[in-house]
Amino acid sequence: MIQQGTKTFRNISLALFAGGFVTFALLYSLQPLMPEISNAFSITPAHASLTLSVTTIAMALTMLFIGSMSDSVGRRFIMTAALVISSVIALLSAFSPGYTELLLLRILQGVALAGLPAIAMTYLSEEIEPRSLGYAMGLYISGNSIGGMAGRFISGVVTDWFSWRAAVGFIGILGLCAAVIFWLVIPPSRHFVKAAPGFKNPIPLLWSQCRNPRLLCLYGLGFLLMGGFVTLFNYIGFELTGEPYHLSQSIVGSLFVVYLMGTVSSTWM
């Protein structure tokens, strides 16, 4: 098992940090751009918010099953493929001719993005010794928060200078760069045991968890807290870029520096 302080541990930490960064940068990069998307396609704010909602839903549903796929295909391959495919889809999204095409691409991106967060914790628990595991997971989660913040902030700044399409394309390029870093430094799985392909195991496991009242309370807390949090930032851009504030996309994107608190606290916890 890999111990904290070794070169292999640093490589794993860097790879998972980069992976978490690009996953949440790609997922949330459109959030501060919703006013621009609404104007570009002449749609309502509610329709513009679907560009994030459909991606999140697709990602959440795919995460329920992609873990079983990794049991037979391998953790490293699926995580790397997820980062590359989702980054390429981001580049394609920058050229979306219409709103419907953008939504379809975002759904596909959600499916692809599920490949890393569904497997990362399992990969870490298989490869890292128990005493170092908490710190490694904290670093991975901090990459998530920094990626979510950076994706929103960078997309806002690039939109001010160029356009929302340029911002989405730029985040896609960043994603490909992070995917290359991930592929180069992530160590191969040494304690992975390949299983027979199939999706039978997740169904009874999911059903058993849905019958556990304590777990349902945890799921409900996550749903309510993240639901309120994401919804607030979905629509606050419409208010701040309009009357009476007229703030720029860069300023609206900078609101997400609050994510830095999550970066520090997740590693500390």
Encode 168-228 in three state secondary structure: HHHHHHHHHHHHHHHHHHCCCCCCCCCCCCCCCCHHHHHHHHHCCHHHHHHHHHHHHHHHH
Cβ–Cβ under 8 Å, residues 149 and 79: no
Identify the pLDDT of residue 101.
Answer: 96
The domain ranges of the chain are: 7-188+200-268
Whole-structure pTM value: 0.84
Identify the pLDDT of residue 139.
Answer: 79
The span from the CA of 161 to the CA of 256, in Å, is: 19
Identify the pLDDT of residue 193.
Answer: 66
Identify the pLDDT of residue 196.
Answer: 60
Cβ–Cβ under 8 Å, residues 1 and 204: no
CB-CB neighbours of 211 under 10 Å: 9
The span from the CA of 94 to the CA of 108, in Å, is: 14
Identify the pLDDT of residue 93.
Answer: 95
Architecture of the domain spanning 7-188+200-268:
Up-down Bundle (1.20)
Identify the pLDDT of residue 199.
Answer: 56
Helices 120-127, 130-161: inter-axial angle, 10-degree rounding: 150
The span from the CA of 223 to the CA of 11, in Å, is: 33
Q: Identify residue 196 by its one-letter amino acid code.
A: A
Looking up tokens 């128990």, which residue turns up? 130
The span from the CA of 267 to the CA of 138, in Å, is: 4
Identify the pLDDT of residue 51.
Answer: 94
The span from the CA of 243 to the CA of 155, in Å, is: 22
pLDDT averaged per 10 residues in sequence order, the chain, 269 residues: 81 88 90 91 93 93 82 81 94 95 96 90 85 82 82 88 94 92 85 62 75 91 89 87 86 80 72
**In the chain, how long is the greatest CA-to-CA distance?**
60
What the block records as the tokens of 13 is 């930490």
CB-CB neighbours of 24 under 10 Å: 24
> How many residues are present in the chain?
269
